[in-house]
Each structure stands twice: as C-alpha cells, then as structure tokens.
Amino acid sequence: MCRARTCGIFGPPIRLIDRLIVVLTAYLGIAAGKTHGTKTYIVQMAKSEMPASFSHHLNWYASLVELSTSSGTHGEKQRIIYSYEHAFNGFAVRLSEEEAEQFEAYSGVVNILPETAYHLHTTRSPVFLGIESVSGTSVVSPAIAEYDVIVGVLDTGIWPESLSFSDRGMAPVPVRWKGACETGRGFNRSNCNRKIVGARIFYRGYEAAVGAIDEKAEFKSPRDQDGHGTHTAATVAGAPVNGANLFGYATGTARGMAPSARIASYKVCWTGGCFSSDILAAVDQAVADGVDVLSISLGGGVSSYYRDSLSIASFGAMERGVFVACSAGNGGPDPISLTNVSPWIATIGASTMDRDFPATVRLGNGVHLTGVSLYKGQRNLSPQRQYSLVYMGANHTNPDPRSLCLEGTLDPRVVAGKIVVCDRGINPRVQKGQVVKQAGGVGMILTNTPANGEELVADSHLLPALAVGETAGKAIKHYTLTTSHATATLTFEGTKVGIRPSPVIAAFSSRGPNFLTLEILKPDMVAPGVNILAAWSGNASPSSLTVDLRRVSFNILSGTSMSCPHVGGIAALIKARHPDWSPAAIKSALMTTAYVHDNSMQVLKDAATAGPSTPYDHGAGHIHPLKALDPGLVYDITPDDYLEFLCTQKLTQTQLKVFTKSSNSSCKHSLASAADLNYPSISVVIPDADGSTMTVRRTVTNVGPPNSKYHVKVSPPKGAEVVVEPINLQFSRRYQKLSYTVSFRTKAAQASPEFGALIWRDQTHSVRSSIAMTWLPQS
C-alpha cells in the first residue's frame, strides 16, 4: 500500500531514484528549523563535471557539504534541504557566509544564490475575452477542450471542495502524468481527482529561514487557508459553476480560461512568505511531473539573469517545452517597477474589464460622486438621510496617520456616528474600514492618492464603505474641510457591465522599461486583473482579516496575480490546439494578436493618469484569445537563441554555464545585439545623433494557410524613419520561415522613448509588433 507522498495520483510507488533521494536526504538530515549562524544558499552544479568516483550526483553534493563543514565550526554536516535535477541541477543547503565563499572555489560549482523572499502579487472575464458567449456557451472548439493539458500553479495551495475543481465529465488522468497527491492535515488522497491531478508542498526553505510551521495554526499540506492559490487555480482552469457570486455581486457562471484543463497545485507560499529554494524545488518537480504550463503569480526584486533563481528555473522549464507565465508585479505606476523580466518568461500586467460595482457618495451640497464597493451587510445607510462627514487630515493633498485611518489613530469622540474619509495607503483598504468601525464610525469613503490616480478597486468592506478616485477624493476632502457641518450618504448599486472605456491599464500594474535589458520590451502583455471573481478558500474571510468571520465560496480580487493565470489558461488552450508549438511560439501568438484600443476605439488608457498608455505599460497590448489560437505568423525562439541573447549581456563563461549546464558550450555571437533576439516586439537603443542608424532582423514562421502573402505597414516612432525589407512576405507552405530586416534612422533624436508599431497583414491575419525606440546620449 502506498504511503503519503510516495504515490503518483493514480500511479505506482516511487521510482528507485526517488527512493535514493529519500534515503540520502534522511542521511543528510533535512533541516526542520533554523540553524544558528547559517542561511540557505542555492548551489547550482555542472552535473557533467561529477567525478567518476561518485555513483550518483547526490553523493557528490553530500561530499561537498561535508568538505565545507569539516572544520566543525557549527558541529553539523547535515544541512542539505533540496536536490534539484530537472529544470535545474544542484541543491539547497544551509551554510555560513564563510562556507558559501568557500563553495565558490569547488570544482563543478557553477553558481551560488542566497535564499530570496518572494511575494504574492495580490465572472466575467471569459465573456470579456471572447472565449464564452453571453449565453454562457463556449466558443472554443470541443476538440481543443478534449486535449489533456496540465497547468501547474505555484501558490498557496488549493481548496479542493470548491465546485470549480469538480471533475464531472472529465476523462481519466493522462498516463504520461507523473505527479503525486501529497497528504497532510486537512488533505487526503481523495481530494485529488481528474481535475486536481497533483498537489504537492514545498516548505523546507521556509522552515529553514522562518522556523517550523505551526501545524495547529497552518495546514502543512496542499490545503489552501489563504485563498490566493485557490483563486488563481480556478482562474486558470476552473470548471464552470453556475450562479457564482460574492454577496450577490458579479452573479453568473464562473469558469476558468481553460475549463477542461487539469490543475497541479504546488504550495510554495506560507504565512510568512515564499522562499526561492522552495519555488525552485516546485518548478523542478513540476517539470518532472509533466506540466505543460506554469502559472506563477509571485515575484521578488530584479536581479541579473544568472542571479535570479526563478529566471534560471524558468529557463530550464522552457528547455523542456513548458510555457511559463509570471505576474509583472504590483509596483505601478512607478516606472522600472517590473519583476520577472527574462525574455523566456511571459510577463503579465493587469487591466480592467467592462464590469464594475458602482456606489455613490451624495454630499450635503448636492454633489454626487461615483465610486465602487462590494459592501453587502445589514448596517446600511439610509439614502434619505445625511450623515455627518469627517476627514482627519490637515489638508486635502498630504495624507497623515489619522487621514490614513491607521490602527489607533481615530478618536471615537470625533468619529462616532459619522462617515469618515480615509486616504488610501500603508494599511489594507478593508482594514481602514475596520478601524473606522471600531472607533464608532458608521461609514467610510476611501480616497485615492496620486499614486493610484483614478483606478478603482472594489472591496468587500465590513461597514458601509466605497472607494473613489483621486479627483473625487480631493473634492470630498475639500468640501469636508471647508464646510462647518459637512454631511453625506452612501448608496450601493450592484453590478453593471458594458463599462466604457475598457480595458484600462491598472494603476498598480508594474511598468517598464526592462531595467536589465532595454532591448527586451516588458511587460509582454496585459490581461484582466481588476475585480476578478474566482473560487476561494473555505478557511479565509473575503477580506483576509482575522476579525472578519464571513466565509464565501467565491471572492473578488485584484492584482497582477489575477492577470497571470488568465494568460496561463489561454496558453493552455493554445497548447491544446497546437501541441507541438514551443513556449516562444505560444507567447508570440498571444503578443502579436493583442489589441491596443479600448471599446471606445481609443488607445488603451492608463488608470494612473487617465491618459493614453504606452508599451511600457501594456506591452504588446491586451490579450485576444480567439485570435491567438490562429495568429497566422509566429516569432519562434529556441533555447540556443536565448543562450545567444545571454551572450550579448556580457556574461562570463562561468555565468553562462548557469544556463548552458555544460562547460563545452560557447557563444557563437549570432546576434549583433540583444535587439536581434527574435522577439515578437522590437526595442532598439540608438545614439542620439541625427542620422544614426540601426538594423535588426526578425524571422517569422507561417502557421496559417500554406499559400499566404503578407504586406507590412509601419507606424514609426516620433523622430525616426523606419524601413522594412522586404515589404512583402510570400509563403508557399505551412511552417515555412522567412526573414526581414527593420532599419531605424534618427531624423530628430527625442529626449524620452518613443513608440510605434509594425504590422504584417494578409486577408485574414494581422500580426502586430510593438516598437520602442530609446536614444542614448553620447559621451
């Protein structure tokens, strides 16, 4: 009989190599808590350089750890916590700084990375994206839905009882699947099914950094008590659930982007955060298990490609044919705030949909201002009555602790019985309302600051409350501060669709340019990430506050964490239609078919400024799933092409080995610059002298009809002349490749980046590439 964590979901006991890992890691004493004076390091090894005296690489790793700790400084040799062997070769180990420095000199050691903390980047979207009709009927071919695609989700786990994870009508799990259903408190093998085909946990790095998980307070199992992982998994591939809603808001059929795809849950995030050694172990295992797509809604800071563990692991996954989607981050609207910028990763920003949850402030002076809210409670305010209104800030432009409604800052004698105006920032939005409620306030108006602009994010508040944009917020605060007896009331208007303009780029969505490589335009694309309805953990409140005792089956969240699984799910659909396509081809299809105009036919707007967005905000544009299934042409990129790109980044031979995994690989210098990588977008950096020139090359693969003729149209960036040669591409067969060049000449150098587009069109397809042009001052 199979024991916990030793069986595939419906498969045989673990293989001999897995038994060896179990035996060796037991011998090496996997750490269950902190080791004094040490921290976790990820050691990447050149597996091909293992001495012949070792029968297995695990024995080799163990000998190096033993050698580094032979002085007995800490009195222990048993510190390996993970071994990696699929997307990455190496291990994670507890070392002191001195021991880590010593490791760098050992033969076979390619790279040593310190443990890094990552953070989570926290239903109408199928209709809005065009993959489901208004009547609820899928417009995607059943032949696609029947193909077995498996999406791995790295997050906080999964709540298996959700109806979104029903396997009703699904075929048996593919025999190729090698994953497992690990068990633990609150999670049994029966919690996996034909929808949830795998569920694993990764916690050794977390425990080594933070301490042992309190198993009474936290599920040390795949069960999700946070809700974030359940929400993202359901967004990727949730089964249709009729009547889904949050307190009556957004009522309809909730379904994932690829509702017939399988889900493999990899729990890497815990109460105290997510750690790189666990994330790396999860990616490594997911590749071995056989996932087709990885959806990773988390990120850390930006490091050089060879110092970023997620970048390195994603490269290994890409080499094995796995499409990797990562959230861009919630650092917007600040520029250069992106995370997960490697070109082999699909970096996803967030945008709104055409659905909203309007609520209205009616001031005592008769002015009506519109905001948003998901409030549904018994403590409603009467629309016929005006309530005293108070703002604790000194002025309407500069927030202070009281205006931010931080814990302990509100005087009950001042706010009791009143509606309180609170500035957004510092503490969670819903928590501000709880602070008001505890002080005796009867309602809250949450006002945006310049950092959030006109972006409106709806929340399930604990008292009557709504959020308004910066402009409305200033008007409300001005009225409150200049009127002796300011009053207001709040009304809540439910759910409305058909909102214009939409989509709009979310203010929180992280922005480019790509700090590491200007020639790689990031983010890659945007997808719905504001007010997204999806399944939720039965253990968590909708506000995630401990004082909130409400429990819901579905929740509405915002963040690039929500946009990322939209793309992961659409990638699964494309993989189903085109199982032989590479990750780069799938990403190309998503990017070149994306659109850059909203439903009012204007350029996509930026919620932070209310003005037009740029490719540094929206990348290639907003995803268009149906067109992505039939893009006409794709820009394909092989692993060797990515290695040549890395050769343009001035990596040393040792640093390049982080990706080549071999000492025999060397640069062919086939790319003149990073801009020559066959990326679906084009970004060039050119001297600011008038008349300066630069030429880049691209190759497209015909994935449409055999006999196709495309003609190019160019919208040049301001200050530049752009020439494409040839201007026509004539294809005679499917999968034929043709190349073209794009030459840029400066007519009048600009002080800031400028943008344009290049579009190849035939009678059916429009294949669009965003263009960014940056002028580099000459020394």
Q: Tens digit of pLDDT for each residue in 726-776?
A: 999 999 999 999 999 999 999 999 999 999 999 999 999 999 999 999 999
Residue 155 annotated as catalytic: yes
pLDDT band at 104 (very low <50, low <70, confident <90, very high): confident
The overall average pLDDT reported for the chain is 89
Q: Which residues, listed in sequence order, are joined to residue 742 by a DSSP beta bridge? A: 696, 724
Q: What is the per-residue pLDDT for 64?
A: 87
Structure letter (DSSP) for residue 305: G
Counting every residue written for the chain, the total comes to: 779
Q: Which residues, listed in sequence order, are joined to residue 113 by a DSSP beta bridge? A: 42
3-state secondary structure of 772: strand
Query: In one letter, which amino acid is 707?
Result: N
550-608 confidence digits (pLDDT tens):
999 999 999 999 999 999 999 999 999 999 999 999 999 999 999 999 999 999 999 99
Q: E strands of 234-331, at which residues?
A: 241-246, 249-254, 262-267, 269-270, 273-275, 293-296, 298-299, 323-327
3-state secondary structure of 619: coil
Helix ranges (H only) for 533-647 are: 560-577, 583-592, 615-618, 625-628, 639-647
Catalytic one among 68, 83, 228, 624? 228
Q: Exposed/middle/buried for 279, CB within 10 Å: 0-12, 13-18, 19+?
A: buried
What's the alpha-carbon Rg for the chain, to the nearest Å?
27
Tell me the pairing of strands 605-606 and 262-267: unpaired
114-126 confidence digits (pLDDT tens):
999 988 876 344 5
Residue 228 annotated as catalytic: yes
Question: Looking at residues 431-448, what average pLDDT do you find?
Answer: 96
Q: Which residues, listed in sequence order, are joined to residue 533 by a DSSP beta bridge? A: 556
Assess contact for 494 and 248: CB atoms under 8 A.
yes
What is the spatial distance between Cα 415 and Cα 388, in angstroms, rounded to a whole number? 9
3-state secondary structure of 413: helix
Q: What is the per-residue pLDDT for 23?
A: 33
pTM of the model: 0.91
Assess contact for 462 and 433: CB atoms under 8 A.
yes
175-188 confidence digits (pLDDT tens):
999 999 999 999 99
What is the spatial distance between Cα 582 and Cα 220, in angstroms, rounded to a whole number? 36
Six-digit token pair at 512? 């480019």
Spatial neighbors of 654 by CB under 8 A, at least 6 apart, are 110, 111
Assess contact for 505 and 614: CB atoms under 8 A.
no
Q: What is the per-residue pLDDT for 21?
A: 37
> Around Cβ 442, how many Cβ atoms within 10 Å?
19
Assess contact for 571 and 149: CB atoms under 8 A.
no
215-257 confidence digits (pLDDT tens):
999 999 999 999 999 999 999 999 999 999 999 999 999 999 9
What is the spatial distance between Cα 240 and Cα 263, in angstroms, rounded to a whole number? 14
Q: What is the per-residue pLDDT for 340?
A: 95
Structure letter (DSSP) for residue 49: G
Q: What is the per-residue pLDDT for 133?
A: 53
pLDDT band at 779 (very low <50, low <70, confident <90, very high): low
Please state the separation of Cα 559 from the chain's center in Å: 9
Catalytic one among 311, 561, 683, 770? 561
pLDDT band at 274 (very low <50, low <70, confident <90, very high): very high
Q: Which residues, listed in sequence order, are joined to residue 153 by a DSSP beta bridge? A: 265, 295
Nearest C-alpha neighbor of 45 from the set 110, 107, 94: 110
3-state secondary structure of 99: helix
Distances (CA, A) of 307 to 161, 213, 272: 39, 28, 23
Catalytic one among 155, 292, 308, 676? 155
494-509 confidence digits (pLDDT tens):
999 999 999 999 999 9
What is the spatial distance between Cα 500 and Cα 215, in angstroms, rounded to a whole number? 48
41-71 confidence digits (pLDDT tens):
999 988 888 888 888 888 898 888 887 775 4
Q: What is the per-residue pLDDT for 127?
A: 53
Assess contact for 589 and 737: CB atoms under 8 A.
no
698-711 confidence digits (pLDDT tens):
999 999 999 999 99
Q: Which residues, listed in sequence order, are joined to residue 294 by a DSSP beta bridge? A: 152, 324
Furthest-apart CA pair in the chain: how many Å?
86
- Does position 24 have pLDDT exceeding 70, yes or no? no
pLDDT band at 78 (very low <50, low <70, confident <90, very high): low
